[in-house]
Chain A
Amino acid sequence: MADKFLSLEKVKEVWHTQVHDEQNWALNKKLLRAFGLFVGSIIVFRNFGDQMARIFHQATMMPMISSRLSPVI
Chain B
Amino acid sequence: MAAAYGQVPTTQMDTKAEEKSKKIDYFDLPCPIPYEEIQREAFMSLKPELFEGLRFDFTKGLNQKFALSHSVAMGPTELPSQSSETIKIPTAHYEFGANFIDPKLMLVGRVMTDGRLNARLKCDLTDKLTLKGNAQLTSEPHMSHGMATFDYKGSDYRAQFQMGNGALFGANYIQSVTPHLSLGGEVFWTGQHHKSGVGIATRYNTDKMVATAQVASTGMVALSFVQKVSEKVSLATDFIYNYLSKEVTSSVGYDYILRQCRLRGKIDSNGCTSAFLEERLNMGLNFILSAEIDHRKKDYKFGFGLTVGE
Q: Which B residues from 212 to 270 make CB contacts under 8 A with A?
A: 223, 225, 227, 229-230, 233, 235, 237-239, 241, 246, 248-250, 252, 254, 256, 258-261, 263, 269
Chief secondary structure at chain A's binding surface:
helix
CB of A32 to closest CB in B, whole Å: 9
A residues near B233, Cβ cutoff 8 Å: 53, 56-57
Asked if A70 is at the interface (CB within 8 A of a chain B CB), the reply is yes
Indicate which residue in B209, B250, B287 contacts A34 across the interface (CB closer than 8 Å). Answer: B250
Instruction: Flag whether A17 is at the interface (Cβ < 8 A).
Output: no
Q: Which residue of A lies closest to B238 (CB)?
A: A38
Once the chains bind, are B252 and A73 in contact (CB under 8 Å)? Answer: no
The residues of A that contact B279 with a CB separation of less than 8 Å are 65-66, 69
Residues on the A chain within 8 Å of B223, using CB: 38
**Is A31 interfacial (CB-CB < 8 Å)?**
yes
Contacting residues of chain B (168-191) with chain A, CB-CB under 8 angstroms: none
- Find the A residue at minimum CB distance from B259: A66
On whether the beta carbons of B254 and A73 are closer than 8 Å, the reply is no
A60 to B254 CA separation, bound complex (whole angstroms): 14
Complex contact A45–B258 (CB within 8 A):
no
Within 8 A of B (CB), among A15-44: 27, 30-31, 33-35, 37-38, 41-42
Q: Does B105 contact A (CB under 8 A)?
A: no
B248 CB contact (under 8 Å) in A30, A49, A57, A73: A30
Look across to chain B and name the residue whose beta carbon is closest to the beta carbon of A36: B250
In the complex, which residues of chain B have a beta carbon less than 8 angstroms from the beta carbon of A33?
250, 269
Interface size class of B (residues with CB under 8 A): 20 to 34
Query: How many Å from the CB of B246 to the closest CB on chain A?
Result: 5
- A69 CB → nearest B CB, Å: 6
Report Cα–Cα, A73/B287, bound state, in Å. Answer: 10
Minimum CB–CB distance from A59 to chain B (whole Å) comes to: 10
A46 located at the interface, meaning its Cβ lies under 8 Å from any Cβ of chain B in the complex: yes
Partner of A53 from B225, B230, B239, B277 at Cβ < 8 Å: B230
Query: CA–CA, A70 to B282, complex, Å?
Result: 9
| Interface class of chain B by DSSP | strand
Contacts of B235 in A (CB 8 A): 41, 45, 49, 52-53
Given contacts A38-B238, A49-B227, A49-B235, is CB(A73)–CB(B250) below 8 Å?
no
A30-B269, A53-B229 known; A42+B237 contact, CB < 8 A = yes
27 A-B interface contacts by CB (under 8 A): A31-B241, A31-B248, A34-B248, A34-B269, A35-B239, A35-B250, A38-B223, A38-B238, A41-B225, A41-B235, A41-B252, A42-B237, A46-B209, A46-B227, A49-B235, A50-B229, A52-B229, A53-B230, A56-B233, A56-B254, A56-B256, A66-B258, A66-B259, A66-B261, A70-B260, A70-B281, A73-B287
Using CB atoms and an 8 Å cutoff, list the residues of chain A in contact with chain B.
Answer: 27, 30-31, 33-35, 37-38, 41-42, 45-46, 49-50, 52-53, 56-57, 60, 65-66, 69-70, 73
Contacts A35-B250, A56-B233, A65-B279 supplied; 19 other A-B pairs, CB < 8 Å: A27-B248, A31-B248, A33-B250, A34-B239, A34-B248, A37-B239, A41-B225, A41-B235, A45-B225, A45-B227, A49-B229, A49-B235, A53-B230, A60-B258, A60-B263, A69-B281, A69-B287, A70-B260, A73-B287
Q: Top 10 nearest A-B pairs by Cβ distance?
A: A34-B250, A41-B237, A38-B239, A45-B227, A53-B233, A34-B269, A53-B229, A37-B250, A41-B252, A38-B250
